[in-house]
Structure 1
Amino acid sequence: MASADDQEEKNATISDITSHKSSISQDKDVEGLTTNVETLKTSEFSEADAPKHSDKEEAPVKISDAQGKDDENPEEFLLEEKPIEPVFDGTEIPESETQPSSVWPEKAVALKNFVKEKGTVAVTTLIRRLSSKKEEGGSPRMDEKSNGDKMEVPASELKEEYPKLEERSVWNPLSFIKIGRDVQVEQTQTESSVEVPAMKGRIVIYTQLGCQECKAIRSFLREKRLSFVEINIDVFPSRKLELEKIYGSYAVPKVYFNDELIGGPKELSDMEASGLLDNKINEMMNIEPAASSPLPPLPGEDDESASGKLDELAAIVRKMKEVLKPKDRYYKMRRFSNCFLGSEAVDFLSEDQYFEREEAVEFGRKLAINHFFRHVLNENIFEDGNHLYCFLEHDPIVMSQCYNIPRGTLDVMPKPIVEIASRLRLLSHAIIEAYVSEDGKHVDYRSIHGSEEFKRYVRITEELQRVDLGELSREESLAFFINLYNMMAIHAILSWGPPTKAMERRKFFGDFKYVIGGFPYSLSAIHNGILRSNQRPPYSLTRPFAPRDRRSKVSLEYPEPLVHFALVNGTRSGPALRCYSPGNIDKELMESARDFIRNGGLIVDAEAKVASANRILHWYSVDFGKNETEVLKHAANYMEPTKSGELMELLANTHLKVTYQPYDWSLNI
């Protein structure tokens, strides 16, 4: 934890840099200013992702009726300075008012002058470069926009002057102004990059879910820093038959170096001990695989996603789209895109299916119940008249924010949600075993992105478009939505890049969606709307689902607090990534809670009488108890018995100080 002087120095720094945009007197307190100063990251100073402020709610909790002498100790004031809390939805606590203070004014002024000087030098250098180009006969490109005073520098010069621009994540349109983020990106890439020797040959390993020897093979090859292709025979059953045909058995693991079968862990260890393994690896560097070598999984191999019996209703809806030709219309003083009138749909169904109007209305309701279209304001299921309806794939939110409907609504009949959940769980399990560390804290996103397992997973999620979620039991809902949330987070990171700021996190948790059962669900909707039984997210004034929102029917009857130890959003301070099954969901959640709490989620210093907790316990404290004491007692159930006893004794006999650890939002790579 940083000292008080360092904290005050950082706060003073932020205050003076903010004075570039508004005149702030030196008497104004710098604690609480949350100006987003990106240039600070490129200097020798560094700031945490979350701005700092003084929050009374964050003050150390003294669980005692009396005040001891410890209250007079000035070191305790260190615990009262808490960072602002960007929660999982990207929201933040409103800024608290600042109090007059004069902290490190000399250093703040010095830094202000330093920033001004560096800014002047940068502008002068850019102008000098542009001037030299003009003198040589060239002219800088000028794009005059509406304000007429903006200039764009040629891309070639920008690449030459700022090579890091190409490395920056581009998922957010605002990323091009975040120069200070380059340092963080470079550090992340340095930490995560592992040099793998270039190899012309191909190493293939056959594995199976839950195989300990397969895990040993993976660890061995990764320690040797060798790239390999994994073929899981549970995911690709045709390869299982292939092994049985060739060897008379599908026992795994089996390791191939090109077309040569090496064997299993024992054979690899023997080769390494004799020195033959290094010789074989050197040969693989220059020898390409032969035609008889095992091939990597092919696109679409053993993939049954989007297959099934054609839905007769879908054929009618397809023809309905061609005839009605949805267009933009006005309804109740609002404009809606790609919609059609209820009367038009009734006319079509009457002519196409030879229905009376009453029968056509009933058939239209059947189509709406099967999630082919819906009322633009969800006022009714389907009625004749001037009501406006839009097809599922024409919904503005579905079109712009849902990532499991790339080719429109599927024409096959929806499969049972239990069957789809089982197939998704199988792929999740395979992905986690192959591309996640054994402790679940480090994810190989690059390998996941290129894997056939993940591509198949995304294709299977398309089958969720029109499923009936009402078939799920509590245990099935817990396992399905926890696994789906974790894989959605990976999908969002691979599609957009990891969020680094509060607004990016808000977009990440609120705007990346799947269509499930005819409705869009974001990460926040799954977390707070379903798993937390439609409770308000931290620091939010509204619930995820309104009273008339049909998605509220999917919510759990009671919130399950242990889901907070299972939901992984790609951060280092989050829980370990695991796959959960409906048959053992409660046991697995308790194991995840124990793993989270015992590995830094709650640290108790009995001598100092201080408890340091992960911020998840603070953000979602309402799920664990009515007050901080109850939250700690709930967490004590998952600590080691000795530590749990110490905590309970401190809660009963002393005034315990509770601090909350800074949340590390960096990517879990």
Structure 2
Amino acid sequence: MEHPTNANLVLEKDAPAPDIEKEEMKNVDTVKKEILESSSDIDEVDSPRVPIKEQLESPIVNSDEVKSEKRSDDDAIDSLEEEKEPVFDGTEVPGIEDKESAWSEKAVALTNFVRQKSLVAVSTVLRRLSMKSDDGIEDSSEEKDSSPENKVLEASGKSGERFNWSPLSLIGIGDSKSEQEQPVEDVTQPIAMKGRIILYTSLGCNDCKEARKYLHAKRLRYVEINIDVYPTRKLELEKIAGSCAVPRVFFNEVLIGGLNEMKILEESGKLGEKIDYVVSEPPSFEAPMPPLSGEDDPSSNGPVDELALVARKMKGSVSVKDRFYKMRVFSNCFLGSEAVDFLSEDQLLERDAAVEFGRKLANKLFFQHVEDNIFEDGNHLYRFLDDDPLISQCQNIPRGINEGKPKPISEISARLRFLLRAILEAYSSEDGRHVDYRSIHGSEEFARYLRIVEELQRVELFEISREEKLSFFINLYNMMSIHAILVWGHPLGALERRKTFGDFKYVIGGSTYSLSAIYNGVLRGNQRPPYNLVKPFGAKDRRLKVALPHVEPLVHFALVCGTRSGPAIRCYSPGNIDTELMDAACNFLRNGALYVDSISNVVYVNKILRWYSVDFGKNEVEVLKHAANYLEASDSQAFLELLSDTQLKVIYQPYDWGLNH
């Protein structure tokens, strides 16, 4: 590999874009040939977002692999389009979309021209073939196979196979004499069964992990009941199994036992009979039941806030409508004087006392001023929390304002950690690099998570400690990303990523928080996202009080947005947050995010360190020195010596935005 000579540290930059017009004229013949062979569009656009359930039923294809398949043999076509520079939160380098759209318009015109010419040629051939048939000339099978029409159809089929079809759907298509006609069983899918398999587990149980792997290897779909998450099921297990030891597996009402018992049955040849039984027989009334909705869930219990009842009654009495205020129109508002009238009559209070009572309701976040003002008697405009047009679009307020009495953020954070730990143990790989989104979507644990985040609507955040804030928002961000993927689907392009990170929001403490607001506003201490000019929170934004006072660089190795090039997903606790973040950094950087080739003097670095380099150092050398702290001691020392004594070339690895399924 060629070494740089002029600088101690050289950054590999993208090559300048070629002259598009010259390349178009140069490659017209090539494009014509490709169109006739494939009949696929040159000006492809991003596919619409697909719901997660449909995405998971088809093989997930790496976006880089799709791009490579779409490239032609002629490298000139590839050089017509500049490489995009997407960043972690979905934004792009300013101006890149304009360049892309300019080439897209030219590509559309070129495509239409070539397509018209190709259609004329194909129709001419078909007309000649039909004339030959009319004259009594029979076409052989070889002539039919070699006709331009069949070539176009065959190429079109290949194009569909490449981009739209599952490879398994092609089995059986083709010559009837081909062996590919025989149906092939998909060995990756679970066995269809009429019965039900129940697996009892507990948190931190190694045998339970092995039992999950064993059942997955046998392609047996099961329902997991964690006796730590569902404590009443511990008594049930002890009653029907004789003890509360885990793991325990039930095929319908039949107790199979633990991991050792399953292996013994397999060695004796009896496990197959048990599997045949659960496949063919539905569960009886004696079989253990899956977890019920709301079972053992503290979110479903708790006292009702008395003020919530007053707020609900007031909402039905005041006039909520669009109103004009300070040269602007505000939707779904009511007057402060109307609220005072209601409170005076309902609570039997004087107007001054009614104003104080109204301020108490406002402090509990049942309603807020349309701008920034305390509750007063008069023509000031106020809006109920769930009537705010931004808050009403948040994903954790589906049934209006939560009327339960707000719980301390420390309690909610503890339950969130407990639930996240259970979800990761049951539905993610051991290294945290892969997540079973399909199973999470249908689990009672995820339903419980949705109930927990509803409790965040009116929670108090301002008095939370640094450690609690770090662990809470990191865990919430990671679960929020899973929620976004399950509801909106995995974003397929830069624009969809921007929408997901900016528009998927929760209401927390009366304010809206998007994924980007949590990442860049709270955890990065209100720093500008890459390639953006403004900070997430303005000077008068209430969320600024929640933001950390300074940047926490290690959060970049803990935040997971569902991509393959991102860090592994973990659960973080306030008591050990700094140690856990250091472990996450070591795990990320030692497993491919920073690779040093000492022979060729090249270091390959994950692009996260480039996008957020300002959080790690003033220049690239400082960033790499910071990252070296989390390598193995011997590797770190060698890397620092290489960094200071030799000419080192830095290459940033392509970021894989594919789903970490």
TM-score normalised to the size of structure 2? 0.77
Deviations 1:90-119 (A, max 9, x none): 2111237999xxxxxxxxx99986774347
CA positional deviation for 1:640: 1.8
The code of the aligned residue for 2:189 comes to: E
Matched, 1:38 2:35: no
The code of the aligned residue for 1:274 comes to: S
Change (3 A) 1:186 1:336: farther
- Separation in 1 of the partners of 2:401 and 2:95? 44
Which residue in the other structure is 2:380 paired with? 387
- Equivalent residue for 1:288, pick from 277, 282, 285: 282
The code of the aligned residue for 1:117 comes to: V
Which residue in the other structure is 1:364 paired with? 358
- Separation in 2 of the partners of 1:508 and 1:188? 29
Structure 2 segments unaligned to the other structure (5+ residues): 2-13, 28-40, 48-61, 69-80, 100-105, 123-152, 170-185
Change (3 A) 1:18 1:312: farther
Matched, 1:345 2:339: yes
Which residue in the other structure is 1:92 paired with? 92
Alpha-carbon contact 2:520-2:528 (below 8 Å) kept: yes
- Equivalent residue for 2:314, pick from 317, 320, 335: 320
Change (3 A) 1:500 1:184: farther
Which residue in the other structure is 2:588 paired with? 596
Alpha-carbon contact 2:294-2:300 (below 8 Å) kept: no
Matched, 1:440 2:432: yes
Change (3 A) 1:88 1:119: farther
Deviations 1:303-337 (A, max 9, x none): 22142212121111111101103101111121111
The CA RMSD over aligned residues, in Å, is 3.6
Which residue in the other structure is 2:114 paired with? 117
Identity percentage of aligned residues = 59
Alpha-carbon contact 1:573-1:665 (below 8 Å) kept: yes
Matched, 1:258 2:252: yes
Alpha-carbon contact 1:201-1:287 (below 8 Å) kept: yes
Deviations 1:150-203 (A, max 9, x none): xxxxxxxxxxx9xx9xxxxxxxxxxxxxxx99955656999x993222112221
Change (3 A) 1:566 1:463: same
Which residue in the other structure is 1:472 paired with? 464
Deviations 1:106-134 (A, max 9, x none): xxx99986774347778999xxxxxxxxx
TM alignment of 1:162-177, pairs within 5 A: none
- Separation in 2 of the partners of 1:610 and 1:50? 27
Change (3 A) 1:408 1:15: farther
The code of the aligned residue for 1:640 comes to: E
CA positional deviation for 1:12: 7.9
CA positional deviation for 1:597: 0.3
- Separation in 1 of the partners of 2:168 and 2:335? 53
Partner SS, residue 335 of structure 1: strand
- Separation in 1 of the partners of 2:626 and 2:649? 17
- Separation in 2 of the partners of 1:89 and 1:327? 36
The code of the aligned residue for 1:396 comes to: P
- Separation in 1 of the partners of 2:275 and 2:589? 43
Structure 1 segments unaligned to the other structure (5+ residues): 2-6, 21-34, 53-80, 100-108, 126-160, 165-179
- Separation in 1 of the partners of 2:292 and 2:529? 42
The code of the aligned residue for 1:619 comes to: W
Alpha-carbon contact 1:90-1:509 (below 8 Å) kept: yes
- Equivalent residue for 2:505, pick from 513, 517, 528: 513
Change (3 A) 1:362 1:258: same
Matched, 1:268 2:262: yes
- Separation in 2 of the partners of 1:311 and 1:348? 19
Matched, 1:537 2:534: no
Alpha-carbon contact 1:470-1:554 (below 8 Å) kept: yes
CA positional deviation for 1:455: 0.6
Alpha-carbon contact 2:43-2:108 (below 8 Å) kept: no
The code of the aligned residue for 2:612 comes to: Y
- Equivalent residue for 2:637, pick from 630, 645, 649: 645
Which residue in the other structure is 1:299 paired with? 293
Higher relative contact order (CA 8 A, sep 6+): 2
- Separation in 2 of the partners of 1:51 and 1:333? 50
CA positional deviation for 1:10: 10
Deviations 1:334-393 (A, max 9, x none): 11111011222222222222333332222222211111111112x212222222110000
- Separation in 1 of the partners of 2:609 and 2:597? 18
Which residue in the other structure is 1:631 paired with? 623
Which residue in the other structure is 1:208 paired with? 202
Which residue in the other structure is 1:606 paired with? 598
Partner SS, residue 329 of structure 2: strand
- Separation in 2 of the partners of 1:580 and 1:122? 60
Alignment length (residue pairs): 555
- Separation in 1 of the partners of 2:161 and 2:408? 47
TM-score normalised to the size of structure 1? 0.76
CA positional deviation for 1:470: 2.5
Alpha-carbon contact 2:198-2:223 (below 8 Å) kept: yes
